[in-house]
Amino acid sequence: MKPGFYISMGIAIAALSVGFILLNDVQQEKETQAIWLQRTPTQCNDVWQVEFDEFFETNPEIKEIPKEKMKEILESIIKNHYEKQGIKILDLNLELDVYEGVRCEACNCLGWDRLSIKIPKSQFELVNKSEGWISLN
């Protein structure tokens, strides 16, 4: 192999290394420009309840699905609800039945969930404060 080949390979490896370092820096910068918010959903009175009801009206066959699958569907509905408002959900964590024995504010059914979302700080003003969101940062 020609000496120029090794030089070219060295340059390519160095460029890849620099690229990975820059990508990591960009990711860390994004992390510092994000905010975690948390709220306790009120189940039957949540702002995404319309989308939730519409989903199950169009998919009645999945009413009796496992809790974990229901959680995935609900997370998707919540994410879509906020993204329609221009709020990008970077991460979402929904914990089911966190407050055992507590009743829903809307209909008095048992169990409450805890919802946390991570959004860009620049979009914090788009979040409706009357929905009960609190900052975790």
70 SS3 class? helix
Tokens of 22: 């820059």
- pLDDT of 85 over the 80 cut: yes
Residue 119 amino acid letter: I
Which whole number is the average pLDDT over 68-94? 92
Provide the pLDDT confidence category of residue 1 given band limits of 50, 70 and 90.
low
Look up the pTM and report it.
0.67
- 131 pLDDT more than 90: no
The percentage of the chain sitting over the pLDDT mark of 90, rounded to a whole number, equals 29
Query: Residue 116 and residue 135: Cα distance in Å, rounded?
Result: 9
Residue 19: pLDDT band (50, 70, 90) is low
Q: What is the mean pLDDT of residues 111-131?
A: 88
The 10 Å CB-count burial string (b at 16+, else e) for 38-60 is ebebbbeebebbebbeebeeeee
pLDDT of residue 117: 95
